[in-house]
Amino acid sequence: MSTSDNILAPASRIHLSQDVVQVLYRLLAAGLLCIALALLTESFLNLNNLLNVLRQASLLFFLASGLTLVILTGGLDLSVGANIGISACLAATAIKATGSPALGVLVGLGVGSLVGFFNGLMVTKLRIPSFIATYGMLWVLHGVTYYYMAGETIHGFPPGFRQIGSGYFLGVPIPVYLMVTFLAVGMFFAQRTNWGQQIYAIGANPVAARLSGIPVNVRLILVYTVSGAMAGIASIVFLARLNSAEGDIGEAMTLPAIAAVLIGGTSLFGGVGTVFGTFVGALILTLVLNGMNLLAVNANWQPLVTGVIVVLAVWLDMYGRRRT
């Protein structure tokens, strides 16, 4: 057994057992939330509403799943919302210029991945804290996107492309199938591959991980690139759903994505959490927003509620760490 194997084996067992307990608590919270909404509203259990909840949760999950890997390493990617904007606008341009949805998908995925790659380089090579590096990238992307779009809107995409965000298969929205697919891939990568376990080890103790032979910088560049790629995928689904691209598309998604990760039990300090937990977190947050809409809560209160949930999730994380 190699040195890196020695550090991974005990850490993985401890963290996975903690994660199972965390996910069970959150599944219980989601179940209680569903019961409350079913009692308080007449339309919550409507099939169309439940499918809409899953579709909205899937859009949030795409962004939050990649962000989960970054936070597992103890980092943060604040540029994911702005990444959606630049990726969607360039993908829209490619589709309108060539009429090829496939090229648009490749452009969105490629731009998102490239942004994530540069974030990884700034964190590892320039040694800029991830909070500062990605916050700076956020403003760079906003500036480039607004300059490129110049206040214009690109709209009207081929029906086949729109199926990605608006279509159904066997009565279930296609984004839900995509969410289940990426959920399975993310869970397998994070918890069943050596690379995934090295990400946990980096988040738990980066110095020990480096000394044990784990190529920390390479793994960090990988997770930021994956986070960017998932933002690129989210941009495609948003584009297909909205049938238009504007400079501010995806702008409001960063905080909800971070909230979904933290609600799902991933520690802001790294090393603890699961992709499945993020799925549950995205579901809980979407249920809360759906419930506020059904209860006719003023839209101005919804960001406040999201902020309170984030603060509560971080406090619970810190409280749990102090107890252990």
Residue pLDDT, tens place only, 148-195: 999 899 988 999 899 999 899 999 999 999 999 999 999 999 888 999
The per-residue pLDDT for range 245-284, each reduced to its tens digit, is 988 888 888 988 998 998 888 888 888 889 999 999 999 9
The per-residue pLDDT for range 200-239, each reduced to its tens digit, is 999 989 899 999 999 999 999 999 999 999 999 999 999 9
Q: Binning pLDDT at 50, 70 and 90, where does residue 320 land? A: low
Alpha-carbon span 106 to 224, nearest angstrom? 18
Contact criterion met (CB below 8 Å) for 117 and 85: no
pTM of the predicted structure, to 2 decimals: 0.88
Neighbours of 301 (CB within 10 A): 10
Contact criterion met (CB below 8 Å) for 47 and 237: no
Q: Which residues contact 163 (CB under 8 A, 6 or more apart)?
A: 174, 240
The per-residue pLDDT for range 48-70, each reduced to its tens digit, is 999 999 999 998 999 999 999 99
Asked whether the predicted pLDDT for residue 118 surpasses 50, the reply is yes
Alpha-carbon span 34 to 287, nearest angstrom? 8
| The length of the chain, given as a count of residues | 324
Q: What pLDDT, on the 0 to 100 scale, is given for residue 126? A: 95
Q: What pLDDT, on the 0 to 100 scale, is given for residue 2? A: 47
Alpha-carbon span 147 to 315, nearest angstrom? 39
